[in-house]
Amino acid sequence: MLSEAVVNVKGIGDKFAEELAGMGVHSIEDLLLYFPNRYDVFEVRPLSELIHEDKVTIEGRVLNAPSLSFYGKKKSRLMFNVEVENVVVRAVMFNRAFAKKQLQIGDTVTLTGKWDAHRLQITVSNYKKGPAESQATIQPIYSVKGNVSNVKLKKAIQTAIQNYGEHVTELLPSDYLTSYKLPTRINAIKSMHFPSNRQALKHARRRFTYEEFLLFQLKVQLLRKLKREATQGNAQLFQAQKVKDFINDFPFRLTGAQERSLQQILADLKSPFRMNRLLQGDVGSGKTAVAAIALYASITANKQGALMVPTEILAEQHFQSLKELFGDRAKIVLLTGSVKGKKRKEILSAIQNNEVQIVVGTHALIQDDVFFHDLGFVIVDEQHRFGVEQRRTLREKGLQPDVLFMTATPIPRTLAITAFGDMDVSVIDQMPAGRKEIETYWTKANTFDRILQFIEKRIQAGEQAYVICPLIEESDKLDIQDAVELYHQLVEYYDSSIQVGLMHGRLHAEEKDQVMQQFARNEVQVLVSTTVVEVGVNVPNATIMVIYDAERFGLSQLHQLRGRVGRGDKQSYCILIADPKGEVGKERMKIMTETNNGFELAEQDLKLRGPGDFFGKKQSGMPEFKVADMVHDYRALETARNDAQFILSQNLLEEDPTYHELKVHMENEGIYTKKLD
Ligand code: ADP
Ligand code: MG
């Protein structure tokens, strides 16, 4: 019934139906669920509570005969005074000359319009003779297109509710309605369109918020379940004792959070299902260490492992730290774009002949001519920097290998629930002991001399500094010019006492490498750089991070940059040079100075920017909810997630008839027939 075309609704003709189609409304159900995008509330409030320039409603008595004046071609202005709470308020109405005759001295009128608190004047957009309703009236406002007006749409919806309302089926089992105190689906639909009062609207919104979240959570969790069951992976029977020995040889003890994440990953390796897990942890929280142990476990099960990272510098660094950790426990090779010719051939053949157990590399890893003997475990670092295709290509170099993604971009809990609904998530939310909090300062540009002096002092104490150069344009070219200029300034300022290095994206891989090596060996003390140092670079002796034009970076990126320091046991500093114009910009700088916790920062960023902006438009893939708001309604989202977990773990969709409608909904969404990749 409800799936029939809207044209079947009385009063909707072909033309109207076509216009509705342009608004995404095709079926009768679409129409019933086409909710207003906002509501105007008309409610008389005391004059003293009215806010300047707000839309307000007042009730008063007409004091004088309206005076009418004409101007322009056909324009008119009607003015009169009304008495409200013993105060004289002036009312102005444009282009409603006809109202002059309707308004008599002594009449009670209800006026709605824009309030000018200074002049005690209301510019009327709506008026009604007589007193205001005792309760607030709520006017739904729809987002409409073309010739569809609010009035016309409302009428169509009303007819649809009258004639088809009885066919709206309840999706939620009735004990959910009782225990959460939610209205039935049809009552909630009615209240969304024609709320009798605020309370009714609030309940209706609560119902659809929950419904949307529950359906979404059921969908992603069901998909994940089906996927896991459909993708036979390898049960990697690693040698636990060897893994223990490996960990015992580390120069440090794992943190509780590392230990917990590691156990989750090892359990995935052992299970016959394929691992599809995200390891989240702030910069420096020790993800690489966990990844190394997992790689080692996989090797003891006679598999090969691959670690793919987005940049050459990062590949080099991971390669070095893995080699250190592994010693002669495994043969590890580096495969990047700059490995060419004979060297590359040798490496490729070693990988294919199983003479190599671990390959660290960039995109070079996923070239067509790279073949593994038996790739069992794939790790992708900074996974958001790779496309879906690239990740798939790497995966397909093995036979259903286990896959672990790593990211240092903390995803707010709110988004993690939704964005990674189809992945398992492990979180390292604890820093290794002994780390000092980075002190962060925010300053305007004119203190640059003082900053340089401060850097000099720290360098005399044996430490090092990064200076991230100003960001003028998106284009690399301009970045470089600035970096070069800043570099020369610093060289001049410090003359020969301090070595300054320069790093930017246009340098050749070998040059970059050389600069990084010099910085790592403290032959260079100040590194001027564009944001290429953003990810992963590890020079524990560097203690100062200066960031120019900090207001141009997102909070997450600033946090990433800041994470380049504070990696050793010395006190580190981050200095943000920024002159943000708006309040939001100032707020962001303040947040940076107040917290070192990436997750907290991400939550704040989300609040400031909203979920759509958080991931950037390109790869947002965030679900669109009609009523629900992921940030604001976070508690409901958590509840829905837990309920979905319970429903699926108890197999209620299949086995409990009260869940039948939910099951039908999932079927209609095509969950059970979806191609799983
Ligand atoms: P991430 O990859 O999360 O940025 P790393 O694994 O590179 O972090 O670790 C950052 C630094 O901390 C490295 O120098 C590493 O050796 C060290 N580290 C990792 N785990 C611990 C730990 N549990 N205790 C002390 N130091 C650790
Ligand atoms: Mg790392």
pLDDT, tens digit (0-9, with 9 covering 90-100), for 217-271: 898 888 888 877 777 778 899 999 999 999 999 999 999 999 999 999 999 999 9
pLDDT for the residue numbered 617: 42
User: Poorest-confidence range of 219-233, 271-285, 606-620?
Assistant: 606-620
Checking if the pLDDT of 301 tops 60, the result is: yes
User: Which ligand lies nearest the alpha carbon of 360?
Assistant: 2
Mean pLDDT (the chain, rounded): 88
Highest average pLDDT, of 47-56, 289-298, 660-669, comes from 289-298
CA of 139 to the centre of ligand 2 (A): 54
Rounded Cα gap, residues 466 and 528, in angstroms: 6
CA of 470 to the centre of ligand 1 (A): 30
- Our CA angle for 429, 435, 436, nearest 5°, is 115
CA of 284 to the centre of ligand 1 (A): 5
CB burial class (10 A; 0-12, 13-18, 19+) of residue 109? buried
Task: Identify the helix (H) or strand (E) that includes residue 182.
Answer: none
Would you give the DSSP letter of residue 232?
A: B
Strands across the sheet containing 439-443? 439-443, 573-577, 542-547, 464-468, 526-529, 500-503
Domain spanning 44-135: CATH superfamily: Nucleic acid-binding proteins (2.40.50.140)
Substitution site in 288, 317, 380, 431 for ligand 1 pocket (most atoms within 8 Å of beta carbon): 288
Rounded Cα gap, residues 81 and 79, in angstroms: 7
CA of 287 to the centre of ligand 2 (A): 6
Please say whether the beta carbons of 262 and 433 come within 8 A.
no
Nearest alpha carbon, ligand 1 atom 15: 286
Domain spanning 240-428: CATH superfamily: P-loop containing nucleotide triphosphate hydrolases (3.40.50.300)
CA of 238 to the centre of ligand 2 (A): 24
For residue 594, CA distances in Å to 39, 512, 588 come to 38, 33, 10
In the chain the first and final C-alpha atoms are separated, in Å, by 34
Report which ligand 1 atom has the smallest distance to the Cα of 381.
2
pLDDT for the residue numbered 590: 93
Q: State residue 384 phi and psi, 5-degree precision.
A: -70, -10
The single residue listed with the structure tokens 């699926």 is 648
pLDDT for the residue numbered 597: 85
Checking if the pLDDT of 114 tops 60, the result is: yes
User: Which ligand lies nearest the alpha carbon of 289?
Assistant: 1
Q: Name the band, by pLDDT with cuts 50, 70 and 90, for residue 200.
A: very high
User: Which ligand lies nearest the alpha carbon of 283?
Assistant: 1
Strands 573-577 and 439-443 come out as parallel
Nearest alpha carbon, ligand 1 atom 23: 254
Report which ligand 1 atom has the smallest distance to the Cα of 281.
3
User: Which ligand lies nearest the alpha carbon of 251?
Assistant: 1
Kindly state the average pLDDT of the residues 96-125.
Answer: 92
CA of 226 to the centre of ligand 2 (A): 32
The single residue listed with the structure tokens 């016959």 is 272
pLDDT for the residue numbered 536: 54
Would you give the DSSP letter of residue 422?
A: T
pLDDT for the residue numbered 675: 65
Kindly state the average pLDDT of the residues 590-601.
Answer: 89
Kindly tell me the number of DSSP H helices and DSSP E strands found in the chain. 24, 21
Checking if the pLDDT of 490 tops 80, the result is: yes
Kindly state the average pLDDT of the residues 109-123.
Answer: 94
Amino acid, res. 13: G
Report which ligand 1 atom has the smallest distance to the Cα of 536.
4
CA of 584 to the centre of ligand 2 (A): 31
CA dihedral 605, 610, 616, 617 (to 10 degrees): 180
Rounded Cα gap, residues 319 and 288, in angstroms: 11
Report which ligand 1 atom has the smallest distance to the Cα of 291.
6
Checking if the pLDDT of 618 tops 50, the result is: no
Please say whether the beta carbons of 423 and 398 come within 8 A.
no
Please say whether the beta carbons of 288 and 281 come within 8 A.
no
For the full predicted model, state whether its pTM sits above 0.75.
no
Checking if the pLDDT of 552 tops 60, the result is: yes
pLDDT for the residue numbered 620: 45
Q: Quote the tokens at residue 527.
A: 């590194």
Nearest alpha carbon, ligand 1 atom 5: 286
Predicted confidence (pLDDT) per residue in 428-480, tens digit: 988 888 778 899 999 987 788 899 999 999 999 999 999 998 665 445 445 55
CA of 356 to the centre of ligand 1 (A): 25
Query: Where does 439-595 sit in CATH, by number?
Result: 3.40.50.300
Q: What percent of the chain has pLDDT over 90?
A: 55
pLDDT for the residue numbered 83: 95
Checking if the pLDDT of 402 tops 80, the result is: yes
User: Which ligand lies nearest the alpha carbon of 284?
Assistant: 1
Predicted confidence (pLDDT) per residue in 521-539, tens digit: 999 999 998 876 655 567 8
Rounded Cα gap, residues 407 and 340, in angstroms: 29
Report which ligand 1 atom has the smallest distance to the Cα of 290.
6
Residues of the chain with CATH 2.40.50.140: 44-135
Substitution site in 285, 318, 436 for ligand 1 pocket (most atoms within 8 Å of beta carbon): 285
Kindly state the average pLDDT of the residues 413-437.
Answer: 77
CA of 425 to the centre of ligand 2 (A): 17
- Our CA angle for 662, 611, 382, nearest 5°, is 100
Q: Name the band, by pLDDT with cuts 50, 70 and 90, for residue 274.
A: confident
Q: How far, in whole angstroms, is CA 245 from its chain's centroid?
A: 40
pLDDT for the residue numbered 619: 42
The single residue listed with the structure tokens 């670079």 is 537
Q: Where does ligand 1 bind, in terms of residues with CB under 6 Å? A: 252-255, 258, 281, 283-289, 408, 432, 538, 567
Residues of the chain with CATH 3.40.50.300: 240-428, 439-595
Q: Number of C-alpha atoms within 13 angstroms, CB side, residue 75? A: 6
Instruction: Using the CB atoms, write b or e for 313-346: b if 16+ within 10 Å.
Output: bbbbbbbebbbebbeebbbbbbbbebbeeeebee
User: 496 or 416, which is more confident?
Assistant: 496
DSSP 1-40: -TTSBGGGSTT--HHHHHHHHHTT--BHHHHHT---SEEE
Q: State residue 75 phi and psi, 5-degree precision.
A: -100, 150
Predicted confidence (pLDDT) per residue in 345-384, tens digit: 999 999 999 999 999 999 898 888 999 999 999 999 977 6
Q: Name the band, by pLDDT with cuts 50, 70 and 90, for residue 611.
A: low
